[in-house]
Structure 1
Amino acid sequence: MRADERHETRPRLTVFERFGGARSERRVRAGLEAHPERRPGRWPPRADRRGPLTVAADVHVVTVGCGTPASNAYLVRSSGSWVLIDAGWAGDAGEIRRAAESLFGPAARPTAILLTHVHPDHSGAAGDLARAWHVPVYVHPDELPMAAGKYLPDFDMPLDHWVLVPIMHLLPARTRSRIEAAGDITDVTRPLDPDGVVPGLPDWEWTAAPGHTPGSVAYLRRADGVLVSGDALVTVDLNAASGLLGGRHRLAGPPWYTTWDRETARRSVAALAALGPRTLLPGHGYPLAAGTAEALRSFDREELDRRPRLDRVLVPLGAPGPERYRPPPRLYARLQWLGHVLTALGLSPGYVVTLEVPGRRSGVIRRTTLVLARYEGQGHLVSLTGESEWVRNVRAAGGRVVLARHRRRQAVTLVEVPPAERAPVIRSYVLRAARRPGSTAVAREARAFFGVGPDLAAEEIAAVADRFPVFAVRPDTG
């Protein structure tokens, strides 16, 4: 009898009996479990419950990685062959290979490796496994640029922007090259069929779920409603301290700090909920096997209701109106000190500077972290909040200010640009760091900051340019 046959002849326990055992606790919030006596333990599971475990017919999971960022890899069988969906962190290849051998025999080799998206906790071991097994790795076509393992501004996420890229810039060039080469899987990566066909899984289909990354996908078996969601939907709340530090169970969207476009990600949640899955197999957290469709519908409604409140806290500005000054959210203003610290240490992006200008009433130096936009070779500062405090202070100081970054402080003169000449500068602000017109990051900022379309049409910007003071940065002549 083969290893996979032995496995299937065992009595099939429920997902939650396998993961957590019987525990008398309250019902998991958001419909995670219809039977409170079977609630799984904290995430991640104990070492003896990390798999491989059966979570649906012909679907097995193994949990890899350490701590709360531990992720799920799925081994799925169909028509006499099997595939691997997601591949955990770099260094997890051995654990995944042992899980495959325990299920399918010592010479087990999949038809293909499928990724829900290219992030190091899901694609880290994909290259090593694909080269050892001599199989391709399939991703959405929009993910192919990420397969090179390099930072790309168009794929920027907050963690990249504020932490990883600044740290990489501090490393020697040779070390950076070695890290990038280790994450390069371009030699084994192939695009998924645009018609939704899944290599090696004829009874499955893939569906686009962008937002967490531009090319995130989910894999669906319509016959019984099994959905492998990657990070488009997870069941451990990595957006809350209780989930990130304590492994709290809760149906949740992707972590905002590793998400490329949160609004697109929210729309993908609605699209996945509309599929009506009966079993949700997430990239992080325990499977959701009871009341799944209703839990997803409720979660989507809840996200829609609380979205404006989150925007006021986490997004610097909302859609602009005709008012002359739009104060930033209180939390954003209170975190200005963090921007000063990161800029002083050289850990913020190279186009970020700290403006130092005397208060117009107190004379005390006021500091504001700003983006230095480049237009026709000259630096410019743009006020996203309109007639802000720093704008009024600059005018009162006659434009004589200091710009600081890392260990350099430079006295400069700011000269206000007339409204009729601001449109191309504002456009260069949004297109900084080699961004492209029409990309999601550009569309998000164009809409939220200036209320214009993703193509940044000159006439649209010109119509609102008088609301956004712009200053050209010139050497101090005093």
Structure 2
Amino acid sequence: METEMNYGKDYHSLPVTSMRNGEGIEIRPDLYQLTVQIVNVAFIGDPERGEWVLVDAGMPHRANDIIEAAEERFGIGNPPRAIVLTHGHFDHVGSIIECIGHWNVDVWAHEAELPYLTGQKSYMPPDPTVDSGLVAKLSPWFPNEPIQLVNRVHKLPKDGTIPFLPGWKWLLTEGHTPGHISLFHESTRALIAGDAFVTVKQESIYKVFIQDLEINGPPKYFTSDWEAAQASVRKLAKLDPTLAITGHGKPVEGEVLTNGLRRLLDNFELLALPN
């Protein structure tokens, strides 16, 4: 009997949100950020040209939010050419099965992330002791079991290219997860960082709600390898990106981004590492 796509048994909605829930921001004509509760997804593609790619798939049970925003931007009956995943944590794949079904689209992720996307391996349990913030304390309630995408998920090409995204490259930015990637547009130095770093203090429910811009390391409660996480932030800073969409928080660009990454690296132990 053929295996069907499914989420982990622990997948469920979460009653946490931000004041930016549902907000879409056109950062430039071919780059759009949509906030789904407390996480961001990205649309890459110019509506004038039609073709586009979805990066990440938001929180559980929020596929309609993503589909409606995509149809408003690109038109009804214009599916993405692909879904690219920065990683497989529940808040980045929470609506992916519904998106695959609605659009009949395939998924690409790093080879090291595939066990978490094909039912083979669970992520480490969230650690509530990493920070005093309420989101961190609530994290044991967050899903961490693998999802099963069967043959709809494929490993990204080893040469760093991304299917259907000419001009973009993927970079391994491990640490938050073993196969976490970030996406970089070489000619414009635009960056989609995923959770390699974020622009909000993700452990604090107050900061998550108000979304004050504050460049921080990856969410502490789910990060498995801090030495690799620090090296990944350093790798992204060396690219000198002009703008960044992160998995959580507002988009950031220019000197605010450059200075924020420098501050994060100079104070990584204080700003990023768990208590």
Partner of 1:334: none
Query: Which amino acid letter does the alignment assign opposite residue 116 of structure 1?
Result: T
Partner of 1:301: 266
Residue 258 of structure 1: how far off its partner (Å): 1.0
25, 36, 43: which is aligned to 1:64? Answer: 36
Partner of 1:44: 18
- Structure showing greater Rg: 1
Partner of 1:88: 58
Partner of 1:265: 229
Q: Is the Cα–Cα contact under 8 Å of residues 51 and 99 in structure 1 kept in the other structure? A: no
Partner of 1:458: none
1:189 and 2:157 correspond: no
Q: Normalization by structure 1: what TM-score? A: 0.48
What CA distance in whole angstroms lies between the structure 2 residues aligned with 1:108 and 1:300? 41
What CA distance in whole angstroms lies between the structure 2 residues aligned with 1:167 and 1:101? 32
Partner of 1:159: 127
1:116 and 2:86 correspond: yes
Q: Is the Cα–Cα contact under 8 Å of residues 115 and 121 in structure 2 kept in the other structure? A: no
Q: Normalization by structure 2: what TM-score? A: 0.80
Deviations 1:387-433 (A, max 9, x none): xxxxxxxxxxxxxxxxxxxxxxxxxxxxxxxxxxxxxxxxxxxxxxx
Q: Is the Cα–Cα contact under 8 Å of residues 235 and 285 in structure 1 kept in the other structure? A: yes
Cα 1:240–1:51 change in 2 (3 A) is closer
Query: Which amino acid letter does the alignment assign opposite residue 55 of structure 2?
Result: I
Runs of 4+ aligned structure 1 residues displaced above 6 Å come to 160-168
Residue 263 of structure 1: how far off its partner (Å): 1.9
Q: Is the Cα–Cα contact under 8 Å of residues 182 and 191 in structure 2 kept in the other structure? A: yes
What CA distance in whole angstroms lies between the structure 2 residues aligned with 1:164 and 1:299? 25
Structure 2 residue runs of 5 or longer lacking an equivalent are 1-16, 131-136
1:130-141 to 2 correspondences below 5 Å:
130-141=100-111
Residue 184 of structure 1: how far off its partner (Å): 2.1
1:76 and 2:40 correspond: no
Residue 55 of structure 1: how far off its partner (Å): 1.2
68, 71, 75: which is aligned to 1:105? Answer: 75
Query: Which amino acid letter does the alignment assign opposite residue 41 of structure 2?
Result: A
Cα 1:180–1:235 change in 2 (3 A) is closer
Aligned partner of residue 286 in structure 1, secondary structure: coil
Q: Is the Cα–Cα contact under 8 Å of residues 151 and 165 in structure 1 kept in the other structure? A: no
What CA distance in whole angstroms lies between the structure 1 residues aligned with 2:55 and 2:273? 32
Query: Which amino acid letter does the alignment assign opposite residue 302 of structure 1?
Result: N
What CA distance in whole angstroms lies between the structure 1 residues aligned with 2:191 and 2:95? 22
Identity of aligned residues (%): 33
Partner of 2:12: none
Q: Is the Cα–Cα contact under 8 Å of residues 73 and 86 in structure 1 kept in the other structure? A: yes
Residue 246 of structure 1: how far off its partner (Å): 5.3
1:353-364 to 2 correspondences below 5 Å:
none
Q: Is the Cα–Cα contact under 8 Å of residues 157 and 260 in structure 1 kept in the other structure? A: no
Partner of 2:184: 220
Partner of 1:290: 254
Structure 1 residue runs of 5 or longer lacking an equivalent are 1-42, 169-175, 315-478
Q: Is the Cα–Cα contact under 8 Å of residues 56 and 226 in structure 1 kept in the other structure? A: no
Counting matched residue pairs gives 250
Q: Is the Cα–Cα contact under 8 Å of residues 80 and 105 in structure 2 kept in the other structure? A: yes
Aligned partner of residue 145 in structure 1, secondary structure: helix
* Higher share in helix: 1
Q: Is the Cα–Cα contact under 8 Å of residues 211 and 263 in structure 1 kept in the other structure? A: yes
Greater RCO structure (CA 8 Å; 6+ sep) = 2
Residue 260 of structure 1: how far off its partner (Å): 1.4
What CA distance in whole angstroms lies between the structure 1 residues aligned with 2:125 and 2:18? 25
274, 280, 284: which is aligned to 2:244? Answer: 280
